[in-house]
């Protein structure tokens, strides 16, 4: 029996926690306290523990997390920040938002993440930081990136929006660089019921600074030390995330099982499948393959009721938002953007759902 396979079955994912989410909603509603309270503190503590970092500060979303980290490190006008040419555009937006200039570096075609061998050539006297994105849930090559950063006294900011809980050489992402930005956009591995995000770090001063910046630049009510923003994580979303966090490890294992089933089932086709370097445990936010006939494959799968997405169709340097970069040639990123296709991946997918997708890809990719 064939059924339609959604790209991400968020309804079923959240339905697993239905009773508890409703109970928590009632608790927050009845508390009368909706901003910067105990629910937030509790979630921040749990998430810091989960990421094995000293601190966590809840924020409004993943883009704001990166933006606040940059501001917190004093990075802005006149500064350059190295970013991957292959990423979700929010990585770049955080940099321009802070007033700095993104300097793209190409990824490895094998991992889709920053190629450390290319970073040094992009460093100038204005370079202040590197944003290392753990794209699709797979950690970037952090040892190599940190070594370069140490040499040039650069900050390393992890963009962990897609990589909650991913492991690099025995350590969780979020604590591998100087600070990390997470997104809890509903579709993320850990998703809120609305926009949400967090900053993790072991840097006391940075966390103190971002906590001030996210609350109008104020530590003590009505005293505004700096020109801040309003980027708070609501009590409500924090409390809902606290319900879902304990299940994240199990869901990650389910994602790994599905990814393994895809990789095994799709061998021998004219497709480029994900490859995982030694020492790295991805959390499979997305299962991304590449095909020279990507658009055809996608539409044929759609005919079979298999929903797929493209992460992403247009590279940041080719967007209207970055006109000054439109003439750049970044062939690795461009090729990736032309070929990638993300298969359905919900932790609630059954083995036979996955089999159905595999069968359809086999039928369509040949």
Ligand X SMILES: Cc1ncc(COP(=O)(O)O)c(/C=N/[C@@H]2[C@@H](O)[C@@H](OP(=O)(O)OP(=O)(O)OC[C@H]3O[C@@H](n4cc(C)c(=O)[nH]c4=O)C[C@@H]3O)O[C@H](C)[C@H]2O)c1O
Q: What is the DSSP letter of 43?
A: H
Q: List the catalytic residues.
A: 188
Which of 121/262 has CB closer to ligand X? 262
CA-CA distance, 249 to 69, in Å (whole number)?
26
CB of 43 to ligand X, least distance (A): 16
Contacts of 22 (CB under 8 A, 6+ apart): none
Can you tell me whether residue 129 is helix, strand or coil?
strand
Q: Which is nearer to ligand X, 188 or 205 (CB)?
A: 188
Burial class (CB in 10 A: 0-12, 13-18, 19+), 76: middle
Give the closest residue to 235 by CA, choosing from 65, 14, 29: 29
By CB under 8 A, the residues from 241 to 270 that bind its own copies are: none
Quick check: 34 binds its own copies (CB under 8 A)?
A: yes
CA distance 160 to 183: 7
Nearer to ligand X, 206 or 231 (CB): 231
Q: Which listed option, ligand X, its own copies, none, makes contact with residue 28 (CB within 5 to 8 Å by class)?
A: its own copies
Give min distance, CB of 101 to its own copies, in A: 12
63 forms part of the interface with ligand X (CB under 6 A)? yes
Closer by beta carbon to ligand X, 175 or else 228: 228
Asked if 34 touches ligand X (CB under 6 A), the answer is yes
Q: Pick the binder of its own copies from 35, 147, 250, 363 (CB under 8 A).
A: 35
- Using CB atoms, what's the residue nearest to ligand X? 62
Residue 322: helix, strand or coil by DSSP?
A: helix
Which residues, in sequence order, are CB contacts of 335 under 8 Å at separation 6+? 109
Among 17, 97, 118, 187, which residue sits at the site for ligand X (rule: CB under 6 A)? 187
- 280-281 sheet: strands from edge to edge: 171-172, 167-168, 280-281
Q: Can the peptide bond before residue 312 be classed as cis, meaning omega within 30 degrees of 0?
A: yes
Q: Minimum distance between the CB of residue 119 and its own copies, rounded to whole angstroms?
A: 24
**Residues near its own copies (CB under 8 A):** 9-11, 14-15, 18, 21-22, 25-26, 28-32, 34-35, 60-64, 89-90, 93, 96-97, 99, 185-186, 192-195, 216-217, 222-230, 232, 234-237, 310, 312-314, 316, 319-322
């Amino acid at each position: 029996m064939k059924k339609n396979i959604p790209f991400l079955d968020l309804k079923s994912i959240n339905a697993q926690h239905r009773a508890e989410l409703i109970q928590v909603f009632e608790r927050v509603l009845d508390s009368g306290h909706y901003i910067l309270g105990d629910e937030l503190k509790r979630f921040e503590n749990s998430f810091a523990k989960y990421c094995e970092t000293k601190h966590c500060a809840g924020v409004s979303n993943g883009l704001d997390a990166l933006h606040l980290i940059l501001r917190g490190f004093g990075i802005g006008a006149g500064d350059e920040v190295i970013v991957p040419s292959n990423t979700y555009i929010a990585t770049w937006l955080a940099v321009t938002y802070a007033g700095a200039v993104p300097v793209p570096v190409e990824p490895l075609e094998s991992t889709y993440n920053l190629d450390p061998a290319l970073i040094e050539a992009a460093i100038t006297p204005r370079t202040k930081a590197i944003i290392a994105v753990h794209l699709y849930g797979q950690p970037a090559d952090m040892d190599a990136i940190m070594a370069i950063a140490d040499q040039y006294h650069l900050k390393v900011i992890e963009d962990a929006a897609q990589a909650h809980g991913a492991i690099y050489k025995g350590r969780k992402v979020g604590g591998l660089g100087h600070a990390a930005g997470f997104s809890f956009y509903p579709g993320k591995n850990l998703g809120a019921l609305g926009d949400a995000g967090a900053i993790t770090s072991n840097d006391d001063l940075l966390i103190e600074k971002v906590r001030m910046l996210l609350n109008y630049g104020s530590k003590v009510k009505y005293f505004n030390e700096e020109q801040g923003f309003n980027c708070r994580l609501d009590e409500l979303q924090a409390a809902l995330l606290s319900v879902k966090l304990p299940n994240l490890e199990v869901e990650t294992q389910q994602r790994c099982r599905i990814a393994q089933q895809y990789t095994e089932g799709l061998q021998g086709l004219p497709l480029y499948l994900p490859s995982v370097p030694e020492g790295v445990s991805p959390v499979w936010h997305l299962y991304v393959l590449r095909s020279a006939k990507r658009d055809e494959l996608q539409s044929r799968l759609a005919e079979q009721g298999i929903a797929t997405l493209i992460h992403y169709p247009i590279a940041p340097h080719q967007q209207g938002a970055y006109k000054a970069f439109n003439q750049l040639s970044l062939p690795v990123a461009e090729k990736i953007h032309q070929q990638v296709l993300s298969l359905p991946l919900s932790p609630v997918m059954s083995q036979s759902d996955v089999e159905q997708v595999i069968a359809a890809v086999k039928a369509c990719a040949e």
